[in-house]
Structure 1
Amino acid sequence: MDLKARLTQLEDIEAIRQLKARYCEVCDANHDPDLILTLFTANGIWEGDGIGRHAGHQQIAALFRSFQKTISFSQHMVQNPIIAVDGNHATGRWYFFGLFTYYKGQQR
């Protein structure tokens, strides 16, 4: 891999790190549905164990509106990223630790 390709790969990895950080920031700022949609493509997918799969802006926004009704506080912390970039395709994995406070009667 030449120097230009290596630099592009590093820039892509950093852009993915920044995207994940912005995602956590939006979640911790009351799960704003309008802001979260700026981080997803129109056909994006949000999927979480125990919560399910939500495809497209309409479903993702509805999910985040439900979070606003149930979660009174959250602190998302992600670490140990493993990011692989191959041209226009990338994958990423993080360890996640989250602190959550729920409105009374709304625990998951």
Structure 2
Amino acid sequence: MPPADIQAIERVKREYAYRIDDRAYDAVVDCFTEDARFDTPEGERFEGDAELREFAASIEDAFDETAHVLTNPVIDVEGDTATGRWYLTLHYAVDGETGTEQAEYRDEYRRVDGEWLIAHTAVVGGIEH
């Protein structure tokens, strides 16, 4: 596995986290392929640019602030596709109260025109503290 591919995949996932926390929803969509899917732990699925932007914007309605902390990536590359697992710790604030949730991202990535993008994300589990 070329280290440059792994670094590019890690970069796009970190960009996703910063962009959603910065509420840069159009930029969030740029981290995904045009036909990407996002599955929530509650069983919701968002597909394609418009639905992904809608999902990202829903974060603004649900939380006053968020900080997505991603750790322990395990990435496997095979040609122009890859899979990845990450731990997610989500710090958030709602109405002056703060909290933390833990979950796991299970991702699929695809190289499109030389750029690694997220093709599918599933958020698995979720423990609230």
User: Are 2:29 and 1:26 aligned?
Assistant: no
CA displacement at 1:48 relative to structure 2: 2.0
**1:6-25 to 2 correspondences below 5 Å:** 9-25=2-18
Instruction: Give the counterpart letter for 2:28 in structure 1.
Output: I
**Percent identity for Structure 1 against Structure 2:** 26
User: Are 2:56 and 1:95 aligned?
Assistant: no
Q: How high is the TM-score relative to the length of structure 1?
A: 0.81
User: Are 2:37 and 1:45 aligned?
Assistant: yes
Instruction: Give the counterpart letter for 1:60 in structure 2.
Output: L
CA displacement at 1:91 relative to structure 2: 0.2
Say which structure is richer in helix.
1
- RMSD of aligned alpha carbons: 1.6
Instruction: Give the counterpart letter for 2:48 in structure 1.
Output: G
Matched-pair contact (CA < 8 Å) for 2:13–2:31: no
| Structure 2 CA distance for partners of 1:72 and 1:21, relative to 1, 3 Å | same
Superposition misfits of 4+ residues, deviation over 2 angstroms: none
CA displacement at 1:53 relative to structure 2: 1.3
Q: How high is the TM-score relative to the length of structure 2?
A: 0.68
Distance 1:44 1:91 in 2: 14
Equivalent pairs counted in the alignment come to 96
Distance 2:88 2:57 in 1: 22
Distance 2:95 2:53 in 1: 20
Structure whose CA Rg is larger: 1
| Structure 2 CA distance for partners of 1:99 and 1:51, relative to 1, 3 Å | farther
Partner of 1:67: 59
Distance 1:34 1:84 in 2: 28
Say which structure is richer in strand.
2
Partner of 1:83: 75
CA displacement at 1:102 relative to structure 2: 2.4
| Structure 2 CA distance for partners of 1:63 and 1:16, relative to 1, 3 Å | same
